[in-house]
Structure 1
Amino acid sequence: MDQQTPIQNPSASRSRDEPPAWFTRVVAHVTQLTAEGREAELGPWDYDEDLSDLADSDDSSSDDDSTSQANSDEEMSDANHTLQSDSDSESIKSYTGANADLYYTLKSAREERKRALLREEEAKQAFYDYSVQREEEVQAACRAAVDSVSQAPEPFTGTGTTTLAGRTYDIYCSDYAYLDPTWSETESTRQHIEFYTRDAWDDDVSLSEAQKREIHGHIFLSAEIDCAFGPVPMPIPARAVGGGITPVVVPSSKGGGAPREKGVDYRFLFVSDEYLCVEVDRASALTSEGLAWVGESAPRSFVFVGIRRVEEGVRLVEESESLVLIR
């Protein structure tokens, strides 16, 4: 039977005084920055071009010449694992060129960038899963609200200005978490909607008492995306028998944030005192960078579900027909 030709590791065929392609590229980038009179300081993102496979390492399996034999020998495999975990302290290394010290410094930074991106990807997946759960929670509340109004035309209890002002709702959208290229754990876990009266941000002395009591707010998605809106039509329409939940259209405004697009309307569903939904068009929800990145793969709008925050870091959820605080 013909013997199969073993698959060669690309780095194994490379001479130890020949640097890998990623190192050559990064050094060339630094040289170019210096030539242009700019500060030759590398950022973590400067390693991203060559990180198509985050789990792969350019030479982690070749820092010792015995790697191929170790694959078929358990004892040698254990020894090789030890070498790999502390490869920079070994006498036999994957690169021994004149700038080897710089190579291993950059290699360490590159590996840390890989680990950071993997951690970020895991955090994004966890946040996506959590967003799906919150969407299911609010969808269940929507179904319950529709069922209740089909029996009795009870209006939403939060129709007065004093009940809506001062409220904050943590918001979630799995589509947005999945598509947003600028996603970050720090920003996304702080996404919220806040309501307040107009006099909280507008110090115009000519405002009438009615204008001062207008309900405005903002939809915070990130430091770059803070969508202001208002005034909210008051009172919020009562729910008619069999009519479901009445959408409330709120225009963009300049207060407490910044309108992303002039003439943009946000569509709210006030499900209950604890839950709401809001539809945000993609031009408002994404930065220009984000729009260019996702292109036509993004939906025309994103629907965020909101869960009321009763105090900082605490939200209200319904469990076993009783309200409990979750920190």
Structure 2
Amino acid sequence: MALVAIAATDGMLHFELALACEVFAHDPSGLADPWYDVAICGPGPVRVGRFLVAPDDGLDRLARADTVIVPSVEDVDADVPPDLLDAVRAAHRAGARMVSLCTGAFVLAAAGVLDGLRATTHWAHTEALTARYPQVRVDPDVLYVDNGTVLASAGKAAAIDLCLHLIRRDHGSTVANAVARRLVVPPHRAGGQAQYVTTPVPARDEHPLATLFPWALARLDRPLTVEDLARQANMSSRNLARHFRSATGTTPLLWLSTQRIRRAQELLEQTDDSIDAVAEAAGMGTAATLRRHFHRTVGVPPDAYRRTFRATGPAVG
């Protein structure tokens, strides 16, 4: 039974620590045998966010683990506790698979584990990680990075993505998808996908664009233009752009492009339609156009995205 050791010290945040426990501590209906043995390891009772956590074992157990997970730290400017650094280095020397979630990358970087490797963290802290640890090749635009035995994720939802990626590597897509269903999260987002905020649709009925969004979403297969959107919203293109920026943080054209990529993802996941048919239904026109925009936004071509999502055998690498 593989041991997953989750490091816990004062100043860590509870979300990533709790999600690591939730993902790895629960066997999905006996689909994988053996499952993981999970231990929270720390120097004693520690303050994690607003909670007091009693570890299962000391930090020295990290060196005996198969996988070590370092959750996010609250203050990236604070010094990493020396005992945590020593334990992380010992685990790395012993051959453990090292994983950082969100700002846990600062711990791995301080320990030298990320030297010369690609890594990522929450987008709000990528510049700080780059400046403090120039020997780390920080990629600010991805959900997670897999270097084989050293992995790092961006924040929150991306941490779940990386945990599911680990299960997919260890037990295959069927088991990873079962865990995702239990957690009620998407079963797979490739690590190369961009860190971007999902484009919101205002919920308030009185918002000037409240009726425009569902109207546009129902017509993604049509060649909509900014002028079409402005006409439907009964406002000028300039006024439309201003309201779009306020509501979504982006432009009408970029919003349309994002929604079309999301529609294409749904069709690739849920249907056997050809790439040409998916392109037409998502309003991309041709398969070539879909492939270009999909690869640029998601990080993988639509064919590979579908194969990964539909895969049922053990993952490779």
Determine if the TM-score, normalized by the shorter chain, exceeds 0.5.
no
Please report the TM-score for the alignment, with normalisation by the length of structure 1: 0.20
Greater share of helix: 2
Q: Return the index of the structure with the highest Cα Rg.
A: 1
Please report the TM-score for the alignment, with normalisation by the length of structure 2: 0.21
